[in-house]
Amino acid sequence: MTGPSFFGTDRMSDAHAPITQDVLTIPRKLPDGPTNLVGLTRDGLKEALLAAGTPEKQAKMRTGQVWQWIYQKGIRDFGQMTNLSKDFRAMLAENFVIELPEVVSKQVSSDGTRKYLVRIAGGHEVETVYIPETDRGTLCISSQVGCTLTCSFCHTGTQKLVRNLTPGEIIGQVMMARDDLGEWPEPGKSNPPTTRLLSNIVLMGMGEPLYNFENVRDAMKIAMDPEGIQLSRRRITLSTSGVVPEIARTATEIGCQLAVSFHATTDDVRDKLVPINKRWNIEELLAALKEYPKASNSERITFEYVMLKDVNDSDEDAHRLLELIKGIPAKINLIPFNPWPGAPYERSSNNRIRAFADIVHNGGYSSPVRKPRGEDIMAACGQLKSATERARKSRKEIAAEAGLS
């Protein structure tokens, strides 16, 4: 059973204290600089064009044209927007830029996984991971620098500094990856390639997407827009630790697939692993999840379950899990724990994971075990944390917080 040393001092000292979003916000527009068009909604783009002097009558058409250049063709230079008049292009160049976050480094794993370190305004860094598979390619994107939550098994949760990413920084990760994969149509051709290298997006990188709801929503709307990147809402999965009040909005305002970091079958254990459980417990979370599929017209909810040796991986846990999720169309994604320096847990044995998966499977649910990808470059789930930020908390602090010292 669980040794008490796994738990102990919680990072959240008061169970009833509100979980504040202690994040920095930056304005979308720098005071004097040109406006970056990347990340504006369609309405926002139209307003920006109007404000720069586009005649009212032309605004809708111009918005559509500029939108397509940016998101369908991947063009960054206004001079190349050949269906716009020279004067209009000059006006755009004077007032606007089309800018992505800067890629600081790229590492490629022996299994083909690519990890990008991306620098955003203010000099902060986030990580983005591309995972190629035979029939598709998934981009795992970040929604915040760090995370205000402090799940005890997650490397990102040990990062002190947190700021919300802007819509441009979120969709910019997708555009940056398409640049690297060479996945924009060749000049002169408008159709996207038939087999897409980047076919799926998962919001499973750094950060809690539902604590940055509006920006994530606006970015995903851009990803889904039929005149742009054109990814179906079924190919986008948002993972949340359980921000219950935002779950219904995710269904109605984004409509993507939902994954939930469940990870435990009793409130006692979940309070320790996913401290947001103290705010919204398992019962409240399940009530919100029950409503999700019909509200979003999606199929199944993915229950993510990290396999931690002697913590949450017993046969009893598997049976309890089946009881809890009764009536929810679900798939259980078992994630072998990915270690990081100073982590206070161990991965469950393969036999234990198999036994757990069999019980869930025999209960009538699909129970795939997530294959760790990019382990050699620390790109697997929960390992993301940029090197610069990594230095900020010491091993000693991490150990103390997990109750190990």
- The residues binding ligand SAH (CB under 6 A) are 151, 153-154, 204, 207-208, 239-241, 261, 304, 306, 335, 337-338, 381-382
User: Which two tokens mark 216?
Assistant: 């994530």
**Is residue 383 involved in binding ligand SF4 (CB under 6 A)?**
no
SS3 state of residue 96: strand
Of positions 39, 74, 157, 168, contacts ligand SF4 by CB under 6 A: 157
Which DSSP symbol is given to 378?
A: T
Binding mask 187-216 for ligand SF4 (x = CB under 6 A): --------------------xx--------
* Residue 329, φ and ψ in degrees, nearest 5: -65, 115
Residue closer to ligand SF4 by CB (options 196, 393) is: 393
| Annotated catalytic residue, options 256, 381, 389, 401 | 381
Nearest one of 54, 69, 3, 14 to 271, comparing CA atoms: 14
**Rounded to the nearest whole angstrom, what is the least distance from the CB of residue 275 to ligand SF4 in the complex?**
8
Using CB under 6 A as the binding criterion, the count of chain residues that bind ligand SF4 stands at 11
**Is residue 151 involved in binding ligand SF4 (CB under 6 A)?**
yes
**Is residue 242 involved in binding ligand SF4 (CB under 6 A)?**
no
**Rounded to the nearest whole angstrom, what is the least distance from the CB of residue 209 to ligand SF4 in the complex?**
9
Is 127 a residue of the active site?
yes
User: Which two tokens mark 214?
Assistant: 């509006």
Spatial separation of the C-alpha atoms in residues 396 and 402, rounded to whole Å: 10
Q: From the list ligand SAH, ligand SF4, none, which binds 204 (C-beta under 5 to 8 Å, kind-based)?
A: ligand SAH
What own/partner pairs with CB < 8 Å and gap ≥ 24 does 321-329 have? Answer: 321/262, 321/265, 321/360, 322/359, 322/360, 322/363, 322/365, 324/265, 324/282, 324/286, 325/286, 325/365, 327/290, 328/286, 328/289, 328/290, 328/293, 328/301, 329/293, 329/299, 329/300, 329/301
**Is residue 128 involved in binding ligand SF4 (CB under 6 A)?**
no
Spatial separation of the C-alpha atoms in residues 204 and 262, rounded to whole Å: 14
Residue closer to ligand SF4 by CB (options 145, 359) is: 145
Which DSSP symbol is given to 97?
A: E
Which residues have C-beta within 8 Å of that of residue 295, sequence separation ≥ 6?
248, 251, 252
**Is residue 289 involved in binding ligand SF4 (CB under 6 A)?**
no
Sign of the alpha-carbon dihedral angle for 88, 92, 93, 99 = negative
Nearest one of 354, 344, 381 to 6, comparing CA atoms: 344
**Is residue 313 involved in binding ligand SF4 (CB under 6 A)?**
no
**Bridge partners of 336?**
307
| Strands 125-132 and 137-140, bridge-based pairing | antiparallel
**Is residue 127 involved in binding ligand SF4 (CB under 6 A)?**
no
Residue closer to ligand SF4 by CB (options 36, 128) is: 128
User: Which two tokens mark 144?
Assistant: 């915040």
Residue closer to ligand SAH by CB (options 139, 154) is: 154
Sign of the alpha-carbon dihedral angle for 352, 346, 260, 298 = negative
Q: From the list ligand SAH, ligand SF4, none, which binds 304 (C-beta under 5 to 8 Å, kind-based)?
A: ligand SAH
Of positions 147, 165, 175, 289, contacts ligand SF4 by CB under 6 A: 147
Residue closer to ligand SF4 by CB (options 101, 275) is: 275
Residue closer to ligand SF4 by CB (options 149, 359) is: 149
Spatial separation of the C-alpha atoms in residues 97 and 76, rounded to whole Å: 8
| Annotated catalytic residue, options 125, 127, 183, 389 | 127
Is 147 a residue of the active site?
no
Of the candidate spans 9-17, 36-44, 147-155, 391-399, the one that interacts with ligand SF4 by CB under 6 A turns out to be 147-155
**Rounded to the nearest whole angstrom, what is the least distance from the CB of residue 126 to ligand SF4 in the complex?**
11
Residue closer to ligand SF4 by CB (options 224, 343) is: 343
Spatial separation of the C-alpha atoms in residues 146 and 60, rounded to whole Å: 38
Residues 113 and 132 sit within 8 Å (Cβ to Cβ): yes
In the complex, which residue's CB is closest to ligand SAH? Answer: 382
Q: From the list ligand SF4, ligand SAH, none, which binds 306 (C-beta under 5 to 8 Å, kind-based)?
A: ligand SAH
Q: Which residues bind ligand SF4 (CB under 6 A)?
A: 147, 149-151, 154, 156-157, 207-208, 241, 261
Point out the residues that are catalytic: 127, 381
